[in-house]
Chain A
């Protein structure tokens, strides 16, 4: 299953917030071109894991390798230069900038935004094209989420970290967003997806990991996990079928 040289290889990382051990030795890998889902209850450490990968947090132990290079402890802005783009939890757009300016900001690491990228983002998200001159603070929640993803795409990501892109969105929009993530993945971007919406995430993902209070407790192919009783019980709200 795992490629000989995974794009991202996380080994035994431990992250602390002061006295709190949020991650207690988490290991996983993401192969080039894969979609990998990270599942877990609230407070399990999913966001912490993503933030550690994107360089916003530093692990106290363990290693992270991207294309075989150690990146743990590298600050976030340098990782963006390597092509690790993070769409943080909770739709962080620049509210008083227009959609256009937000997208431009996404390409901050380049001198000029690439018009081809812009075209592609507006193709993926026709809504953004309609609202191109609007201030992003006045966009709807779903539109803001689209903008946040679109902005990350402007940075030509090789590994895209998505933290709960479906949070607070109507089912129809959630489905749209997942379709778009699939499309993004098809165009060659590797995706590490954090989701509460386990069924949709796992049907999209090639592989998945389940976190529980800072530990990986389950891993496997998306479909296998979707079928796993424990996952179904914990995240899909189903009773454990009487065995």
Chain B
């Protein structure tokens, strides 16, 4: 080794060690106390804690130095599932919270508590004492040996140990909960169990696969595409079994107000439950589940369309039947135990899981009924260079990056819908409010901004201004501002939707018309200014918006106090009150409407024009597009979505101040769209949902000062591994992935489809 080499190595080692020190300082709270300013600093750099971080530095150093040696191993089959499982286990045992009667504690805290508690089974105390880390080390070593040396036996043993570890974790957790009593909300043990199961799966892959290079993507594609709808059937079966055997259902007369499905019949027998609901409990539920499963399973397996439609109908009707039964429950609950069920809350988890299971099974039928027949790879090989064929093949090659198996995307949509419909009622009220006021609203905003930023390629940094305009318009029309509309114009909130949408549309045009001739950075700056102007006007135009004071000024006048929405159509009367759930479903309806409309828009003439302008404005003009109008439409449509969100926000939150519309929020929405994948509708929604969910989730998992660091880490990882976003739009993916560019640009790949289906 030359001196130059060793000097470079020494430098690298030094850098890694310093990095370790920096991490050590960053970890945990940094502020000192008044008497001893450097207290925290000393703790973080103190012995032995600092050794861990220096150790991390050394590991990074080794990884960097031996990267060329390591690299080929990383592409072996099973490595990625193994590493992600390991990550989950590590996160569970270090970061996340475990059950602790005194509040949720880290694994270490619980371990200490267990060691000091008498009367806990030997296995449990061993688990928390030494077994947990030992078994993890064993599993890791065995799997690593299996990967590196291709020793199947080691992998098998590692996998078996991982399964045992998962069971042990579950057992230890439950014995601690049984000992401590109370309700367990911790997630740490769950992450460990799931992590171990993933590792077990990885071990199976390591032991069984003969491939040199992982073909996980192709494998998953084949698995998902084998029988469209079957994955949903399996999910439905699992959820259905959980619903009927594990989930708790509301039960009026037991002291705990819950029981499992088997016990319901007896409990409800003396009550005035409607006979058809009784029938569900005594036999219909038991019959419907297997019938729905068998129908959907057979339909998917045989690819029989008529049968699949029958399965879809049965599943959907069963879900409705379950829901109606739950409704009967809620009527009884309202009388017997008013905190249960009267507002669809606290009806237990089982009923909703059953609804979800039936919906999944019905959805499986639908997917099986509508899936295209399996792609006949290789039959196009006859090298027909007819205009349509090569493009189609290239299309396939391009879209491989995400869920290309027939029916897979549709299955995911159905699963998402099932989750969105039936998860919220089982969530705690904290999560319900997060769902409505953070996730839902920002999903709507992100979908709107995606039109502007993602489709038309116009960077708008003042998007929240339209949200503000929508909110204030609603406040005005519901007579909640210091200035009053003429009495004939005072509207209920939902009736304000068209007005707010139109006003935001106009605001979009008014802002767009003078500014859309600007490009790129200039547009960004001008929109940023616009956003601030709107906020400052709202803040200072006291006589109109009541400035920054919100409701505090004169509650009797109801200033900024937007009424709750209500619907009265014929026999249908719904008033949204304080129940978060109702808002959630209202929001869901709005989001679904907007998404359905926007999907049509994306593939319309206008959508194509947006794509063209984003790509090359001069060329777009030369092909006869009215580029100005097209951009203006993007702006206006985005703004009107924001206005819709504003109506919802205004009437949901009841009162608001200009501080709800700060620049930061505009930038967050842009971040959500970019994170999700610019120009991709599912991406924008997933990005907004994930990035609004994550901070709330981390609230209970990591120390408060560290929260932003973790979010930053997630965004960073995302940029490294999926630079085009979470669920990138087809075109963006092409732009950012050099591999794809090469793949798509070689004419051979396009001409010979069999090649396309090969290794990824």
Interface positions of A (Cβ within 8 A of B)? 54, 56, 75-77, 80-81, 85-88, 92-98, 100-101, 105-106, 108-109, 118, 122, 129-135, 137-138, 148, 151-152, 155
Contacts and interface: CB of A to CB of B under 8 A. Distances in A.
Contacts of B379: none
A133 B394 contact: yes
B615 A95 contact: yes
Nearest to B385: A129
B734 interface: yes
B611 interface: yes
A106 B605 CA distance: 13
Given A88-B622, A92-B622, A94-B619, A131 B747 contact: yes
Nearest to B735: A96
A95 B736 CA distance: 13
Contact of A132 (B390, B611, B622, B741): B390
B443 to A, nearest CB: 26
Contacts of B621: 56, 76-77
Contact of B622 (A76, A81, A122, A138): A76
Nearest to B624: A80
A80 B621 CA distance: 9
A134 B734 CA distance: 11
Contact of A138 (B395, B731, B744): B744
Contacts of A85: 622, 624
B625 A108 contact: yes
Given A118-B387, A133-B750, A138-B741, A93 B624 contact: no
Contact of B619 (A54, A80, A93, A100): A93
Contacts of B611: 94, 97
Contacts of A94: 611-612, 615-616, 619-620
A100 B391 CA distance: 7
- In this complex, the member of A85, A87, A101, A109 whose beta carbon has the largest number of chain B beta carbons within 10 angstroms is A101
A77 B387 contact: no
Interface in B390-404: 390-395
Contacts of B615: 94-97
B387 A122 contact: yes
A151 B623 contact: yes
B626 A77 contact: yes
A130 B731 CA distance: 21
Q: How large is the interface on B (under 10, 10 to 19, 20 to 34, 35 or more residues)?
A: 20 to 34
A92 B619 contact: yes
Given A77-B627, A87-B622, A133-B395, 19 more contacts: A76-B621, A80-B623, A88-B622, A92-B616, A92-B618, A94-B612, A96-B734, A96-B735, A97-B612, A97-B731, A105-B612, A105-B623, A106-B623, A108-B612, A129-B385, A132-B387, A134-B745, A138-B741, A138-B744
Contacts of B744: 133-135, 138
- In this complex, the member of A101, A132, A133 whose beta carbon has the largest number of chain B beta carbons within 10 angstroms is A133
Interface of B: 385, 387, 390-395, 605, 608-609, 611-612, 615-616, 618-627, 731, 734-735, 741, 744-745, 747, 750
Contact of A155 (B387, B608, B624, B626): B624
A182 to B, nearest CB: 22
Contacts of A101: 391
B362 to A, nearest CB: 37
Contacts of A137: 741
Contacts of B624: 76-77, 80-81, 85, 108-109, 155
A132 B391 contact: yes
Contacts of A131: 747
A52 B350 CA distance: 71
A15 to B, nearest CB: 17
Nearest to B393: A133
A97 B750 CA distance: 15
B618 A88 contact: yes
Contacts of A56: 621
A133 B743 CA distance: 12
Contacts of B627: 77
Nearest to B750: A133
A98 B734 CA distance: 11
B588 to A, nearest CB: 33
Contacts of B609: 108
A77 B625 contact: yes
